[in-house]
Amino acid sequence: MALQVYTASLLKEGLVAYLSLEDGSPSWTADIRQATAGHGELLDSLKAAAEKSAQDNLVVAPYAIDVLETDAGWMASTKREQIRAEGPTIRLPQDKSRESRRAA
Amino acid sequence: MDNYIKDRKPDHDEWMPFTGLEEGSSLPSGDIYVPLEEWLQARETLLARNGRLGVAVRNTDNLGILKDDLERLDLVVLEFPKMADGRAFSQARLLRERYGFKGEIRATGDILHDQLFYMQRCGINGFEIREDQDISSSLKAFDEMTITYQPACDEEFPIWRREK
Amino acid sequence: MYQYSEQDHQLLLERVEQFRGQVQRRLSGQLSEDEFKHQRLRNGLYLQLHAYMLRVAIPYGLLSSDQMRTLAHIARKYDKGYGHFSTRQNIQYNWPKLEDVPDILDDLASVEMHAIQTSGNCIRNTTSDPLAGVSRDELEDPRPYCELIRQWSTFHPEFNFLPRKFKIAVSGAAHDRAAVAVHDIGLRLIKNAEGETGFEVHVGGGLGRTPMIGKVIRTFLPKQDMLTYLEAILRVYNLLGRRDNLYKARIKILVHETGEEKFRELVEEEWQKIKASGLFLRDEDLTWIKGFFKDPEYETLPDRDAEFENLLLSNADFARWVDKNVELHKQSGYRIVYLSLKTAHQPPGDVTADQMDAIADLSDRYSLGQIRTTHRQNLVLSDVRLQDLPALWGELTALDLATPNYNHVTDIISCPGLDYCALATARSIPISQALTNRFDDYDYVNDLGDISINISGCINACGHHHVANIGILGVNKKGIEVYQLTLGGSAREDASIGKIIGPAFEADQIVDAVSDVLAVYLENREDPEETFLATYRRLGEAPFKERLYG
Ligand code: HEM
Ligand code: SF4
């Protein structure tokens, strides 16, 4: 049975987040590799925690996605979810001024 | 208190929906409204009664068939089965502007804060607000915006033809 | 351009306050996501793959330099330093935070801009010819009519909950640069036998899942009747348009299912009853609105310039740019300049904040302080003096906005696709970049001549692939991104829907496939004047199919 993690968008920022459940206490991370993956009962508790976060207006529209295990940690199994996890696959337009501001 | 607004104020709903009219059966007294088909079938019986009359229409009905009856009616009930289903906005304008209906035009169904401003502009003046909605906050919707561009039931002319 | 009245300003401020309240209620938990979604979607705010996305309206694609600076400011302060100009002449930001959106709307309102009706099932931003008012083939400036439509449609109380989104385009020239045939309503200004100008009314065009070319519902509509006629069409649509199936809800399906003849009767019957109403446009109303779009005070200039001509002869790059990106102006001594947003380095339609600021400055110095956006995702400086072209070219080159490719093979339309869009089935930007890299050779681009390639990342067709000479549609086939090729579409006055040529190609084959198609064209055209589309129409799909699939 495939392992799944819970993902959603953060209400305030709109950014992608993954649910991590440590000793029963939930937190949302931008890094899919830090997410808690599971199936069966663990997945049920992930689902409950995710829905609670939605009710508490922390996140929007949580859902479960399939993940694969790699050396670096969890990786989403579909292209769509990989792009969601990693960001656009193209170089974002960037001004030189902005690049130098970043570097500074 | 009903979740009912009439002419921009919370109000008590006097009207009773009535359906299942059969030959010879006795009609209730008071103000009742019936589905359009029953009105068309039993017009005379209904008119013989004391008390005000209304008709409930579906948003797919062509209101042209009611136009000669409107003088006898005090209420037309329109339906908004889902918020996104805006057919009855057009029906309301036709009732007011084309057929000159003077009685209450009532919105029923999925009625939320957001539609109220537009509904009143289309001539709707009775609102059965969805049960879970807070009526005092809904009342604010009527005045949220003060500028309108186009003619509707409240304005004959577009903004560029009005007195400045 | 149109100047806001006090009331126009007031309306925007009220709208921002209303939305600020809604955002606050959402953040504090008083509004659920379901309830809030309706509200944000009435304000152009989507939740996309990575973040919120805000769509800002640019009415009929016309921007002042101050508005462009504000767009740059927003990109810098609230986003990641860039924006995306869309096929509907609007701009989209890909990374705003929900809590910042009311402030963004405030900044927009300060320069008479907003996000009203940029999403949702209402009348959307009216689009038009980016060369309105300056082109030589124009009968009449369409912008006054667009502005009247903007006012009429803004918060229209009857038409805010339509069966589906509704898009109107207006064109006033012989050549259609506004794609009127693929809009829910397309209005084309024409002259009748008596020499009066009025509208040819197209209804029921659209792309998406079921692409259709609009039908001419009325061959001549007097201008005075424009708004009453639109109101009649919208009323018929609001009452009769299908609401049982999202994919059948556009007006194109209503026109198709009702039949053109019957639909016309319904509209005409409704119109007869309202044609004398308050929406009738009197001569003084038209005079008033046209007053906002008067010609600027052009200088009297010769249509020649020595420095310009010298550079044309001595500098091949300049000559190429003039040949491809500069067009004649109705006024002697002036030219229209296209700013190409199509390079291999940036996604089609994307502009950085610094570029926006620089474009605003260039428009102030060289083009009367205005910029237009085009439906092919480029920008236009509409009033450049011939003598200023050398200097402007130098500055545009430095900004990477002078690629000589307008309406050529690398002038590719692309929707955001799976890199940004939650509905996407495949990526589109990387394909546009791969094509651009492959074909980025001036002589080849030049030889191919007038041609269009459009890419969409899913069947919704935001990238207009159906009406491209070569259309590419990204699809997900068992988890793999594959690309379907359509040939023979056109979005111009000879509008047509392209035909799928055969089975889809994988990402690493699609560039070769397009290359093959181009080769078949070059081998078979009668002479260099015969465009790709003309050759395709003459030969049909057979030789292309043969080359692609053997
Ligand atoms: C990223 C968020 C976007 C979403 C969620 C979205 C969604 C959609 C959907 C669902 C349709 C099909 C509508 C229908 O057939 O009923 C559509 C059509 C369209 N969209 Fe988008 N779109 C997005 C971005 C864009 C962008 C970036 C552009 C411009 C580049 C654009 C321009 C269009 C156009 C021109 C159409 C075709 C209109 C027609 O069907 O007649 N959209 N969009
Ligand atoms: S065509 Fe599809 S993928 Fe592209 S922007 Fe539209 S909805 Fe998104």
Domain extents in chain A? 4-103
Q: Tokens at residue C439, please? A: 């074909």
pLDDT band at B53 (very low <50, low <70, confident <90, very high): very high
**Residue by residue, what is the 3-state secondary structure of C64-133?**
EHHHHHHHHHHHHHHCCCEEEECCCCCEEECCCCHHHHHHHHHHHHHCCCCCCCCCCCCECCCEECCCCC
Residue with tokens 């692309």: C414
- The model carries a pTM of 0.95
**Cβ pair C50:A87 closer than 8 A:** yes
Tokens of C245: 């199936």
The per-residue pLDDT for B24 is 58
Query: C369: which residues sit within 8 A by CB, 6+ positions away?
Result: C64, C65, C363
A/B touch flag: 3 or more CB pairs below 8 Å: no
pLDDT score recorded for residue C366: 98
Instruction: Tell me how far the alpha carbon of residue C461 lies from the centroid of ligand 1, in angstroms.
Output: 6
How many alpha carbons fall within 13 Å on the CB side of residue C330?
16
Residue type, B63: L
pLDDT surpasses 60 at A102: no
Structure tokens at C165: 């989104």
Q: Are C378 and C338 in contact (CB under 8 A)?
A: yes
Q: What is the mean pLDDT of residues C519-538?
A: 97
- How is residue C441 written in tokens? 């050779």
As a three-state string, the secondary structure of chain B is: CCCEEECCEECCCCCEECCCCCCCCCCCCCCEEEEHHHHHHCHHHHHCCCCCEEEECCCCCCHHHHCCCHHHCCEEEEEECCCCCCHHHHHHHHHHHHCCCCCEEEEEECCCHHHHHHHHHCCCCEEECCCCCCHHHHHHHHHCCCCCCCCECCECCCHHHCCC
Mean pLDDT of C436-459: 97
Average pLDDT over every residue of B121-127: 98
A9 reaches C (C-beta below 8 A): yes
Determine the distance in angstroms separating the CA of B91 from the nearest CA of chain C, rounded to an integer. Answer: 8
What whole-number distance in Å separates Cα of residue C358 and Cα of residue C365?
Answer: 11
| 3-state SS class at C375 | coil
Predicted confidence band at A100 (pLDDT cuts at 50, 70, 90)? low
Per-residue tokens: C541: 């799909």
Would you place residue A104 in the very low, low, confident or very high pLDDT band (cuts 50, 70, 90)? very low
C313-342 average pLDDT score: 97
Q: How far is CA A33 from CA A26, A36, A75, in A?
A: 15, 8, 7
Nearest to C488 by CA among C451, C439, C463: C451
Contact (Cβ atoms closer than 8 angstroms) between residue C418 and residue C457? yes
pLDDT (0 to 100) of residue A98: 62
State the distance from the centre of ligand 2 to the C-alpha of A71, rounded, in angstroms.
Answer: 34
| Separation in Å, CA of C114 to nearest CA in chain A | 21
**CA–CA gap between residue C96 and residue C79 (Å, rounded):** 5
How far apart are alpha carbons B105 and A12 in whole angstroms?
41
Long-range contact pairs involving B37-45 (C-beta distance under 8 Å, separation at least 24) = B39/B69, B40/B65, B43/B69, B45/B21
pLDDT at A103: 46
What is the arithmetic mean of pLDDT over C33-60?
93
Which residues have C-beta within 8 Å of that of residue C47, sequence separation ≥ 6?
A9, A14, A60, A61, C53, C422
Q: Which residues contact C147 (CB under 8 A, 6 or more apart)?
A: C2, C59, C60, C289, C292, C293
Four-way CATH pick for C313-398: 3.40.50.2000, 3.40.50.410, 3.30.70.3040, 3.90.480.20: 3.90.480.20
- Whose tokens are 């001004």? That residue is A95
Band of pLDDT at residue B134, cut at 50, 70 and 90 = confident
Beta bridge partners of C271: none
Q: What six digits make up the tokens of B51? A: 């008390």
pLDDT tens for each residue of C381-401: 999 999 999 999 999 999 999
A78 and C479: CB-CB below 8 Å?
yes
Contact A90 C429 (CB under 8 A): yes
B160·C288 Cβ contact <8 A: yes
Instruction: For chain A, list the contacting chains (3+ Cβ pairs, <8 Å).
Output: C
Pick the CATH number of B4-161 from 3.40.50.1820, 3.20.20.70, 3.40.190.10, 3.40.50.460: 3.20.20.70
In eight-state DSSP terms, residue C488 is: S
Mean of pLDDT values over A77-87: 96
Please report, for chain B, the start and end positions of each structural domain, with discontinuous segments joined by +: 4-161
Whether the per-residue pLDDT at B2 is higher than 80: the answer is no
Q: What is the distance between the alpha carbons of residues A100 and C323, in angstroms, rounded to a whole number? A: 36
A99, pLDDT greater than 90: no
C154 lines ligand 2 (CB under 6 A): no
A16 chain-C contacts, CB cut-off 8 A: 49-51
Rounded Cα gap, residues A90 and B31, in angstroms: 67
Tell how many helices (H) and how many strands (E) occur in chain A.
3, 5
% of chain C surpassing 70 pLDDT: 100
The CATH architecture of the domain made up of C6-110 is: Alpha-Beta Complex (3.90)
Residues paired with residue C204 on neighbouring β-strands, in sequence order: none
pLDDT band at B27 (very low <50, low <70, confident <90, very high): confident
Among C216, C213, C256, C251, which Cα is nearest to C491's? C213
pLDDT at C224: 97
> Which residues, including other chains, have CB under 8 Å from residue C250's CB and lie 6 or more apart?
C163, C164, C165, C184, C206, C208, C210, C241
Number of H helices, E strands in chain C: 18, 21
* CATH number for the domain running over C413-549: 3.30.413.10
In tens, the pLDDT along C227-250 reads 999 999 999 999 999 999 999 999
Residue B5 has pLDDT above 90, yes or no: yes
Ligand 2 neighbourhood includes C461 CB (under 6 angstroms): yes
Q: Which tokens in the block code for residue C281? A: 């446009």
Asked if C207 contacts C497 with a C-beta cutoff of 8 angstroms, the reply is: no
Separation of alpha carbons C500 and C472, rounded Å: 9
In the prediction, which pLDDT does A23 show?
A: 87
pLDDT digits (tens, 9 = 90+) for B62-109: 999 999 999 999 999 999 999 899 999 999 999 999 999 999 999 999
Q: Which atom of ligand 1 is nearest to the CA of C415?
A: 30
SS3 of C54, please? strand
Q: What is the pLDDT of residue B19?
A: 87
From residue C19, give the alpha-carbon distance in Å to each of C5, C14, C344. Answer: 22, 9, 38
Interface test with C, best of A90, A100, A102 (most C CBs within 10 A): A90
CB contact (8 A) between residue C160 and residue B86: yes
**What does the alpha-carbon distance between residue B152 and residue B117 come to, in Å, rounded to a whole number?**
12
The answer for residues whose C-beta is within 8 angstroms of residue B98's C-beta and 6 or more apart is B67, C273
Partner C contacted by A10 (CB < 8 A): no
The H or E element containing residue A51 is helix A40-55
| pLDDT bracket for residue C42 (50, 70, 90) | confident
Question: C246-270 pLDDT, tens per residue?
Answer: 999 999 999 999 999 999 999 999 9
- Rounded to the nearest angstrom, the gap between the alpha carbon of residue C305 and the centroid of all alpha carbons in its chain is 33
pLDDT of residue C208: 93
Interface of C with A (CB under 8 A): 26-29, 33, 47-52, 76, 80-82, 95-99, 345-347, 350-355, 418-420, 424, 427, 429-430, 433, 476, 479-481
Q: Which residues line ligand 1 (CB under 6 A)?
A: C 46, 48, 53, 86-88, 92, 164-165, 167, 182, 206-209, 250, 415-416, 420-421, 423, 460-462, 464
Q: Which of C4, C158, C287 to mutate to test the interface with B (most CBs of B within 10 A)?
A: C158
Write the single-letter amino acid at B18. F
Task: Using the Cα atoms of residue A95, residue A97, residue A101 and residue A104 in order, give the sign of their dihedral.
Answer: positive
Tokens describing residue C534 = 């003309």
For ligand 2, say whether the CB of C208 is within 6 Å of any of its atoms: no
C443: left (phi over 0), alpha (psi -120 to 50) or beta: alpha
Neighbouring C-beta atoms of residue B59, cutoff 10 Å: 18
Written as one letter, the residue type at C543 is: P
Does residue A26 carry a pLDDT above 70?
A: yes
Domain C134-292 has CATH 3.30.413.10: yes
Interface residues of B toward C, Cβ cutoff 8 Å, are 83-87, 89-91, 93, 98, 112, 114-115, 117-119, 121-122, 144-152, 155-161
Test C424 with A80 for CB contact under 8 angstroms. yes
Confidence of residue B49 (pLDDT cuts 50, 70, 90): confident
Reported as half-sphere exposure (CB side, CA atoms, 13 A), residue B161 has a value of 18
Percent of all residues in chain A with a pLDDT value above 90, rounded to a whole number: 83
Contact predicate B33/B56, CB 8 Å: yes
C207 lines ligand 2 (CB under 6 A): no
Which part of chain C is CATH 3.90.480.20? 6-110, 313-398
With contacts defined as CB-CB under 8 Å, which chain A residues touch C353? Answer: 95, 98
* Cα C541 to Cα C538: distance, rounded to the nearest angstrom: 9
Which residue is associated with the tokens 């400045």?
Answer: B164
Rounded Cα–Cα distance for residues C40 and B137 (Å)? 19
What would the mean pLDDT of C104-124 be, rounded to a whole number? 96
The mean pLDDT value of chain C amounts to: 96
| Mean pLDDT, range C60-88, rounded to an integer | 97
pLDDT of A101 above 70: no
Task: Check pLDDT > 60 for residue B36.
Answer: yes
Helix (H, G, I), strand (E, B) or coil at C251: helix
